[in-house]
Amino acid sequence: MRTNDLDYYLPKEQISQQPMSPRTAAKLFVVNRNTGKQEHAHVADLERLINENDCLVLNVTSVLRARLFGTATTGSKREVFLIKKIFRENAEENIWEALIKGSARQGDEIFLDGDISLSVERNNDDGTFLVSFPIPDEKLQEFLVQHGHVPVPPYIHREPGSLEYETVYADPSQRRSVAAPTAGFHLMEELLASLKEKGVQIEKVVLDVGLGTFQPVRTENLEEHKIHSENIFVSEESAQRINEAKKQGKRIVAVGTTTLRVLESVANEDGTIKSYSGETSLFITPGYKFKVVDALLTNFHLPKSSLLALVAAFIGSVDVTLDIYNEAVKEKYRFFSFGDAMWIE
């Protein structure tokens, strides 16, 4: 399909620059895929929309303070944006894929603010670099907390605080994402506690959000777009519990497109899932047959983006999806990372 078929008009003033307070006061566009019924509600209404017989799956990745500033050996200033940790079997090096603003070549050394350096190991064909640090990951994480800066999408014109741009259930041991799984911003502690008390089963998976979340589709045909691979993890225990929930007839509810991509990436043809640690480059486009996920909580996404294509695939119609988006614009919904949400069941 043509990428332009996923375009819509969005006034700049509806791109939210900060989250709603309280976050459960954000608007919620409710869509039923089977009946076509639509409803304007609020995030607080998730307490009635999520049933006691549902299995709610969260992506517990945590945001890396991935923007670093430093100086090359020539004295020129450099900005380094860490994208993804590279896992290699039996490798002792702490290697990352990164973007570097300014020229960089293999063998260059960049001295970062905070008194450590990194080495440029390789220039990749796609404009990224492989860089290595002389310290183990634990020490690097400590360094990033002290000296790194929170990465923000280009449409947010302020640097949010770490806690503001993080889900309340993020696992600090999984601090490898360059962006938060933003649909989860709406689930505050009180709402999660209420759902758990109601009997909702809550499970956890990991997808380390990568560079692709910021990038629009630039190819004329959607199918020609190459999505960046991202690290995912599903434990054996989580896989077993989610499979048992599916067997019992529970709805599998994905909080965010990242969670949905994890579950569909590890799905068997019969709808069960397997434990997995590795990468996914699953690109979900209209026509995709979903095997695992029954309901989705998501934010409103960029025009002509891979995430909008995923939502259109889940709803089952590009035209219906764009009608919903146009209605949301008309009703003054707030868009993107800090914006309002959509519930699709």
Domain residue ranges of the chain, discontinuous segments joined by +: 3-63+160-344, 67-147
Q: How far apart are CA 204 and CA 61, in angstroms?
A: 9
Q: Which two tokens stand for residue 222?
A: 């959607």
Average pLDDT of span 50-76: 94
Residue 164: pLDDT band by 50, 70, 90 thresholds? confident
SS3 content of the chain, % helix, strand, coil (to 5): 30, 30, 45
Give the E-state strand segments of the chain in sequence order: 27-31, 38-42, 54-59, 62-63, 67-72, 77-85, 94-101, 109-112, 116-123, 129-133, 175-177, 201-207, 230-234, 251-255, 276-280, 295-299, 341-344
Q: How far apart are CA 29 and CA 207, in angstroms?
A: 25
How many C-beta neighbours within 10 Å does residue 16 have? 20
Average pLDDT of span 316-330: 98
* Contact (CB, 8 A) for 78 and 100: yes
Residue 214: pLDDT band by 50, 70, 90 thresholds? low
Query: CA angle, 270 as apex, 227 and 290 as ends, to 5°?
Result: 40
Query: CA angle, 268 as apex, 266 and 274 as ends, to 5°?
Result: 45
pLDDT at 53: 95
Q: Which amino acid is at 58?
A: L
Q: How far apart are CA 181 and CA 124, in angstroms?
A: 27
CA nearest 185: which of 30, 29, 343, 340?
340
pLDDT at 91: 60
Average pLDDT of span 27-33: 97
Average pLDDT of span 189-210: 96
pLDDT at 92: 67
Fold of the domain built from segment(s) 3-63+160-344 = QueA-like (3.40.1780)
Residue 161: pLDDT band by 50, 70, 90 thresholds? low
Could you report the per-residue pLDDT of 86-137, keeping only the tens digit for each? 887 656 679 999 999 988 999 999 999 988 999 999 999 888 999 999 998 8
Q: What does pTM read for this prediction?
A: 0.92
pLDDT at 200: 98
Q: How far apart are CA 43 and CA 343, in angstroms?
A: 9
pLDDT at 125: 84
Average pLDDT of span 175-188: 93
Using the predicted structure, report yes or no on whether residue 213 has a pLDDT greater than 80. no
In sequence order, the β-bridge partners of residue 109 are: 119
What is 67-147's CATH number? 2.40.10.240
Collapsed DSSP state (helix, strand, coil) of residue 251: strand
pLDDT at 153: 80
Could you report the per-residue pLDDT of 250-302, keeping only the tens digit for each? 999 999 999 999 999 999 999 999 999 999 999 999 999 999 999 999 999 99
